[in-house]
Chains A and B, each alone.
Chain A
Amino acid sequence: MIAFLSFAIVVLLFTVLVLTAKAGEVATELNDGNRNYVNQSRINGYLLLAFLVLMFAGSAYAFKWLMPVMLPKAASIHGLKTDFLFNVTMIIILVVAVLTQVALFYFAYRYNESRVKEAYFYAHNNTLEIVWTIIPTIVLTGLISMGMYEWFSIFNKDSRDPKMLVIEATGKQFNWMLRYSGKDGKFGERIIDTAHVTPTNELGINWNDPKSHDDFMSDKLYLVKDRPTLMKLGAQDVIHSFYLPHFRVKMDCVPGTPTEFYFTPTMTTEEMRQYLSTQPWWQGVSPETGQPRWQTFKYELACAELCGKSHFGMEREVIVVTQKEYDEWLNKQTSLYDATVKPAVTKEETPAPAAADSTKAGDKKATAMLIKK
C-alpha cells in the first residue's frame, strides 16, 4: 500500500512539474521571444555560486563527522608510511580541488551573460599552458618517486628479517584456513595431487614429512608485536584477497599461484584499545554492545575480492600479542597431525610409517582413485 501510494505521489509530482515547466516555457516565449536566456543565466549564476558554498560547507561537515569514524591509525610499519603518503597526496589534491572548483563555479557565475557585455576572444596562451603543464609534472614526479620508494621497500625480498614469523593463509568459499608452522618453525610439505588433497586434508599436507607433525591450524590470526611477519597466501577454489584493514595489508589469494605479503605489526590489540580510549568517537557507546566502542575494538581479517555469495562473511579475528604471550599461546596448541591423523593411526594399529598417509578414510579413497587413473 505504501509502495503504491509513493508511486502515485511521484506520478502526481511529475505531472505537476511537467505542466508548470511547460507553462513557464510558453510564458517566456510570449514575453521574450525565442532566444532570450538572460534571466535564466542570471538565476543559474546565483545558484551555481550557492552550490559552491554548499559544496564546501557540506564537505567540511563530512570531514568533521566522518573523519573520526574512519579506520584508526595504521598498526604496521609500512602502513604508517603509506598513510603518510596518502595524507600528503590528499592535502595536495584538496588544494587543487579547492582552487579549480572555486575558479570553475565563480567564473560560471561572474561571466554569465547577465553580467557581461561581450566575451573576450582569447584562444590560447602558450606561456600559461606551459606553466600549467610543468607544475603538475613536478608535483607528480615527487609523488611518483615517494610512492615507488615505498613500494619497493615493501616488496624487497632481500631486506627481510630471517627471524620473521611465517604464517600460511588459504582462502576458500567462505572461510580462511590459517596454518602455523609450530615449534620447529617449519611447515610440512604440501602436495597438490589427488592422493593428498582430500575432503579431510584439503591443503594436501604430506603427513610423511615430519615437519608437518607440529603444524597447527588456528581460528584466529595471532601476530606478534614488532615481529616481521610473512604471510604465505593461496586459495583453493576461487580468487580471494587477504585483507587486514588495520595493518594496510592486502594481497590476492589466487588458486594455483602462490602470493605473499611481508609486514610488521606495531601495536598489540591491547595497546590499540588503550590508544583508542583517548579518542572521542571511540569513547562513545556503541548501540550494539552498550559499551564504549574502544573496549570491543578488534583487528580483523576480511576478504577483499568478490568470491561468491558469502564474500562479505569471511571474517576472522586478528590478535596481536607480545612475543611472550605468543609463546604461551603456541605451547597450548594441538597440532593438526595429533588432532586428526594420529588418532586414526593408533586406532587402526598400522604402525608402518610408509602407509601413514593412507590410513585416513579419505586418503584411501584418493589412492584408489589414483590407481584407477
Chain B
Amino acid sequence: MQTSHSVEHAGADTDHIHGHEEHHHEETFLTKYIFSQDHKMISKQFLITGMFWGVVGGLLSVLFRLQLGFPNETFPFLESFLGKWAEGGKISQEFYYALITMHGTILVFFVLTGGLSGTFANLLIPYQIGARDMASPFINMLSYWFFFSAGCVMLFSFFIQTGPASGGWTAYPPLNGLRNTGVNLGSGLGFDMWALGMSLFIVSSLLAALNYVTTVLNLRTKGMTMMRLPLTVWALMFTAIVGILSFPALLAGVVLLEFDRLLDTSFYLNNIIINGQLLGYKGGSPILFEHLFWFLGHPEVYIIILPAFGIVSEVLAVHSRKPIFGYKAMVISLISILILSFIVWAHHMFVTGLNPNLGAIFTLFTLLIAIPSAIKVFNWIGTIWRGKIRLTAAALFGIGFVSMFISGGLTGIILGNSSIDIQLHDTMFVVAHFHIVMGIAAFFGMFAGVYHWFPRLYGRYMNETLGQIHFYVTLIGAYCIFFPMHFMTGLPRRYYSYTNFESFNNFNNLAAFMSIVSIIVFLAQILFVVNFFYSIFKGRKLEGEYANPWDSNSLEWTAPVERIHGNWSGDIPEVHRWPYDYSTNGRAFTPQTEPLKTGEKAH
C-alpha cells in the first residue's frame, strides 16, 4: 500500500514528475534494485533470473546431448570442468541422469514457470489493467526472494559430493524415496535439496499467484470491465488460478516423500527388496505419489503455456493491426482449458497399472482439450488473415509459436489415446511432443513478449536484426532437433546410450546431427542474451516522453517511457473500449482510453 500512497502526491501535472521523484523517493540502491517492491523492477528481476536459469538449463542439455550424439567419443575438456563427473572426458552415468533431471526441473519450473509468469504477470497485470502496482507489493517482493532462494538451493546442489537429484524431474519414489540404500546416488542429499528448493519455489509461486488474481479482480481501473481486458491479463490470471489450485498437491506430495525418506514412514513404499534384503516399509504405494505429482504436473504444462497464449494473442493482434479474432471464443477456450487441465493428469499414468476404466475416462478428457486448443489456433490464423502484418522479431516469434503449437499439439492427440500410448509412453516420441508443444512453443511466446515489451521495460528497443537471426536459427534448429525425434518412436527416453539394444541402435547418425544442431541453437540463445544486455545500455532509445512503439491500444503504453513508481504520473487512465480497435473508424489504432465516438458501438 506504500506504493499507491506515495504516488498520490504526484498530482495531475506531469511537469512535476521529476521534482517529485527527487523530493520523495530517496531510494537506496538496495530498495530500488534489490528489495524492490515495484512490479516493474520485480518483473526485471524475474526475467533476468529466468534468463540465467535458461542458460544453465540449456547448457545442461548441450552436455547430455554430447553423450547422446557421440556415445563413443571422449571430450577431454569436460574433465577439466566437471572433474570426477566426466572422468576421461566421458560424462558418467550418474551425472548424465543428474543432468536430465536438473534440465527438466530448471526449465519447467525456474524458466517457464518462474521466469515466464513472473516476468509478464508482474509487468503486464498492473500496466494493462491500469493499476499503480500489485495488490500487495510486499508479498510480490517476497515471492521473488523465495524464488531466488529456491534457485540458490538448486544451484548449490550441483556442488555437493553426491551431486544433484538424479531420479528424473518427476521424482518418482522409490527411486527418489530411498535415502541411504544406494539405489541412486542423487537420491541422497541431492534430492533433499531438490525437495527443499521445490518447496521454496512453490511458496514463491503461491504468493505470486494470489497476488496476481487479487490484483486483476480488484485493482482494475475505471471502465476496465473483465471483457475489456487484453487477453494477456486473462491468460495470466488463469495461469495464477491453475497454480493456486495445483501447486499445493505437489507440496503435499514432496513433504510426504521426505517423511518416507527421513522418518521411515511408508506413504509411497511397500515391500522394497534390495539385494535380497526386505526393508521394513509396508502398505504404501508409489502410484499415490504419481497421482499427487501429476495433479500438479499436468496443470503445470498449462501454467507454462497459458501465459504464452496470452502474449501471442496480444502480439499477433498488435502487429497484424487487426483485432484478435473471436475475443470471446478465446476467453471461453482459456476457461475450458483451465477446467480440463485438472481432469487429465492420469494420461501420464496409462501404463502404471491404473484401473483401465480410469484410463478410458482420462483419454476422453485429454482428447477434449484438443477442441479449445484447435479453436485458439484457428483464431490466431484468423487474426493474421487480411491483416497488415509488421514482421518484427516479436511478430515472427508469435507466428513461430503458432507453428510450434500446431506441430506439438497435434501429436498430443496420438499420445492422449491410451491404447496408442501403450507403445509410445516414455519413448522419444513423448520427448519430441512435449519439447515442441510446451518447451519451444512457450519459449517462443516468451521471446515474442520480451521483444515486444522490452521498450516498456527499458525505454529502448532490442536490436531487430539480431532478434530476427535469433528467430530463424531457433525455428529451424528446433524443428531439426525435434521433428526427426518423432521417428524414434520405439526408443525409450532417459537412456544413457542405445548401444545395448540391437533394436534401438539404428539412429546414431541422426542423434549426432541433433546434438550438433542443439549446440547451434544454444548459441543462438546466447546471442539473444547478448542482444538483451547490450540493448539495455546501447539499444535504440524510444522517442519522446510518451512513446507507443508498436501503435498499441492497451494501457501500458499510455504511461510515460520513464518507469516511475506508480506507473502514471497523474491520475490513472480511464478505459472506454476494448483493447482491439485496430484499423477501424478510419484509424490505425484507437487506444483504450479514448471515449466512444457518438454512434460508435462498443465491442
Contacts and interface: CB of A to CB of B under 8 A. Distances in A.
Interface stretch (A213-221, A305-313, A351-359): A305-313
Interface in B408-466: 410-411, 413-414, 417-420, 422-423, 425-427, 463-466
A266 interface: no
B451 to A, nearest CB: 12
Interface stretch (A89-97, A160-168, A334-342): A89-97
A241 B490 CA distance: 14
Contacts of B534: 18, 22
Most chain A beta-carbon contacts within 10 A, residue among B273, B502, B582? B273
Interface stretch (A100-108, A180-188, A222-230, A322-330): A100-108
Interface string B394-417: 001001001100110011011001
B278 A252 contact: no
Interface in B333-361: 351-353, 356, 359-360
A150 B492 CA distance: 23
A12 interface: no
B410 A96 contact: yes
B5 to A, nearest CB: 37
Given A90-B414, A119-B582, A239 B97 contact: no
A77 to B, nearest CB: 13
B423 A17 contact: no
Contact of A254 (B286, B367, B427): B286
Nearest to B177: A238
B74 interface: no
Contacts of B364: 144, 148
Contacts of A150: 419
B367 A298 contact: no
Interface in B158-216: 166-168, 172, 174-175, 178, 181, 183-185
Contact of B391 (A37, A117, A199, A250): A37
A55 B167 CA distance: 36
A198 interface: yes
Contacts of A113: 321, 388-391
Interface residues of B, number: 135
A140 B416 CA distance: 11
A256 interface: yes
A47 interface: yes
A303 interface: yes
A89 B421 CA distance: 12
Interface string A64-82: 0011011100000011011
Contacts of B603: 123
Interface string B456-499: 00000001111011001001100110011001011010111110
Contact of A104 (B286, B403, B504, B510): B403
B269 interface: yes
B326 interface: yes
B360 A69 contact: no
Interface bin, chain A? 35 or more
Contacts of B427: 304
A111 B387 contact: yes
Contact of A236 (B274, B423, B483): B274
A245 B502 CA distance: 12
A2 B82 CA distance: 18
Nearest to B98: A309
A282 to B, nearest CB: 10
B287 interface: yes
Given A93-B411, A111-B320, A67 B363 contact: no
B132 interface: no
Nearest to B402: A104
B323 A111 contact: no
Contact of A133 (B93, B281, B322, B371): B371
Interface in A188-227: 192-194, 197-202, 204
B484 A309 contact: no
B387 A85 contact: no
B80 to A, nearest CB: 9
A158 interface: no
Contacts of B389: 41, 108, 111-113, 116
B476 A17 contact: no
B275 interface: yes
Contact of A362 (B166, B184, B276): B276
A236 B495 contact: no
Contacts of A152: 356, 360
A319 interface: no
Given A119-B387, A257-B270, A100 B375 contact: no
Contact of A309 (B172, B184, B284, B497): B184
Contacts of A270: none
B46 interface: no
A368 interface: no
Interface string B53-93: 00000000000000000000001010000000000000001
A298 B501 CA distance: 10
20 contacts: A18-B531, A41-B389, A44-B468, A112-B388, A113-B321, A120-B386, A123-B327, A124-B326, A125-B326, A129-B326, A144-B364, A151-B419, A236-B272, A248-B422, A250-B423, A254-B285, A255-B174, A256-B284, A311-B97, A311-B494
Q: Which 4 A-B pairs have the closest CB atoms?
A: A256-B270, A199-B276, A259-B353, A44-B391
Given A154-B356, A198-B276, A202-B275, 19 more contacts: A18-B531, A21-B465, A100-B378, A111-B386, A113-B391, A119-B387, A123-B603, A133-B371, A144-B364, A147-B420, A148-B364, A151-B419, A197-B273, A204-B273, A237-B178, A239-B174, A249-B422, A258-B353, A304-B492
Interface of B: 75, 77, 93-94, 97, 166-168, 172, 174-175, 178, 181, 183-185, 269-278, 281, 284-287, 320-329, 351-353, 356, 359-360, 363-364, 367-368, 370-371, 374-375, 377-382, 384-392, 396, 399, 402-403, 406-407, 410-411, 413-414, 417-420, 422-423, 425-427, 463-466, 468-469, 472, 475-476, 479-480, 483-484, 487, 489-490, 492, 494-498, 500-507, 510, 523, 526-527, 530-531, 534, 538, 540, 543, 549, 580, 582-584, 603
Interface of A: 3, 10, 14, 17-18, 20-22, 24-25, 29, 34-35, 37, 40-41, 44-45, 47-48, 51, 54-55, 58-59, 62, 66-67, 69-71, 78-79, 81-83, 85-86, 89-90, 92-93, 96-97, 100-101, 103-105, 107-108, 111-113, 116-125, 128-129, 132-133, 136-137, 140, 143-144, 147-148, 150-152, 154-155, 172-173, 192-194, 197-202, 204, 236-239, 241, 243, 245-246, 248-252, 254-259, 288, 296-300, 302-313, 315, 362
